[in-house]
Amino acid sequence: MCGIIGIVGKNPVNQLLYDGLLVLQHRGQDAAGIVTCDGNSFHMHKNNGLVKDVFHTRHMRNLVGNVGIAHVRYPTAGSSSAAEAQPFYVNSPFGIVLGHNGNLTNSEQLKSEMFRQDLRHINTNSDSEVLLNVLAHEIESTSKNALLNSDMVFDAVAGVHRRCKGAYAVVAMIANFGLLAFRDPHGIRPLVIGKQETDKGTEYIVASESVALDVLGFSMLRDVEPGEAVFIDMDGNLFSRQCASNPKLTSCIFEYVYLARPDSVIDGVSVYQTRLDMGTLLAEKIKREWADKKIDVVIPIPDTSRPSALQLGIALGLDYREGFIKNRYIGRTFIMPGQALRKKSVRQKLNPIGIEFKGKNVLLVDDSIVRGTTSQQIVQMARDAGANKVYFASAAPPVRYPNVYGIDMPSRHELLATNRTDEEICAEIGADALIYQDLDALRESIAKSNPHMTEFDCSCFDGKYVTGDIDAAYLNRIESARSDMNKKQLPPNSTTQLDLNLLSTELVGAE
């Protein structure tokens, strides 16, 4: 899970890119980067940290140009080192920078092909650098050293689709030529297009979520279709083409459960409305299965579960109360790279309001239960605050399988629900009763808003991987490679300016 933005403007885009990254900060808190294009020169700054900490005035002044891309990173494949902050750059052909949201499932095979067949060196462990080099090689093959045009770029993306497996929403920039965006043939990770009219002409944006368009003043055009590529040249002319042979929309269902902001619209579906419907459907299950339980109050676990908990309370005719106060200056525990950090942060992040718990039978509602660390501590907090009974409801089904498409659910032994019954999970988190959303109901909550969406990537719930290339050997390999113990920090890199006229890198050096 990462956030990507690309803008082709009529005015400098550095501030727009920065503001857009702030809106997409929830998609990645590990690193941030911006690259702008001014003539034949790329101007880049990236580093580990939150957007507000990575970019200062001195960096923004160097990011000149009316075209640019930006990225916030959440590490899954590779490591959380600053060397793997994005966008990535390759100088041949033409000069290309790329930001990627998702995860390639055949990156090791591609890395070997890059070295042995394409004579390209991959410098990091990031699958995004592999993807960049595959794209660069395909552009080199289709252009044959001729003057580049949009058809050649689309042919290159078709080559990427043939070679790359997994999930990828991509924004890339080709020096002094234009901005390219494309989505994998399954549309697993989201990508939208927007535009705005200025006194100088039309400006275009591509972004991971529609909320970035709203905040920056762009109007939504549409989603990028699965397998589709969109190219916008430096003059602001937009071209698009379907580049996959058998595209099929099977977007990640966890985007609607947790990842996306509630004010976003993904593939024609309001994330907020979906979460309301999750609450309604979960309430129906509670009526069927918990008729004997007396519940006094419904309390959400902030923030993602609020819409579901609110609608659940309304459907059950119960009081809805804010029982936990959140410290806004603590990051999302689910995307923290180390289990030790997750455990430490929960009590720093949430504090209970005693009067909402004392002597009551409370129903805690969360969006999902992944590792269970947070759930266990929150149940204990409710008991410590004086709750009589603590019931727990999850707006999503049990997470039993690793996610291989860009979400950090890498190891089956870290997932609380793997090889456990609901009763065993309930005992593990210390609740008096536990209820999960049914997977069919979760699908229904999305299809209510867009009946054309009939299939999803639900792999973390049902173990069915839509790309068809995942087996036990692959899962064993990623569980080893992505374990928390292997996520080590390396020294941060410095600001760079990439001058394509000289095909060299000038170190500017962060102050």
Across the chain, how many H-helices and E-strands are there? 16, 24
Measured N-to-C along each axis, helices 271-289 and 306-316 cross at an angle, to the nearest 10 degrees, of 40
Task: Give me the amino acid identity at 25.
Answer: Q
Is 267 among the annotated ligand-binding positions?
Answer: no
Residues 400, 475: Cα–Cα separation, whole Å = 13
What would the two tokens of residue 382 be? 């409710």
Q: Which residues pair with 409 in a beta bridge?
A: 403
Say if strands 324-326 and 350-352 run parallel, antiparallel, or are unpaired.
antiparallel
End-to-end Cα separation, the chain, in angstroms: 30
- Enzyme catalytic residues: 2
**Hey, what's the torsion of the CAs at 238, 239, 245, 250, to 10 degrees?**
10
* Residue 296 annotated as part of some ligand binding site: no
Nearest Cα neighbor of 77 from 401, 410, 371 is 410
- 474-499 burial by CB neighbour count: b if 16+ within 10 A, else e? bbeebeeebebeebeeeebbebbbbe
Tokens read off for 451: 């009946």
Q: Is 408 annotated as ligand-binding? A: no
**Which residue ranges are tagged as binding site for Mg(2+)?**
304, 366-367
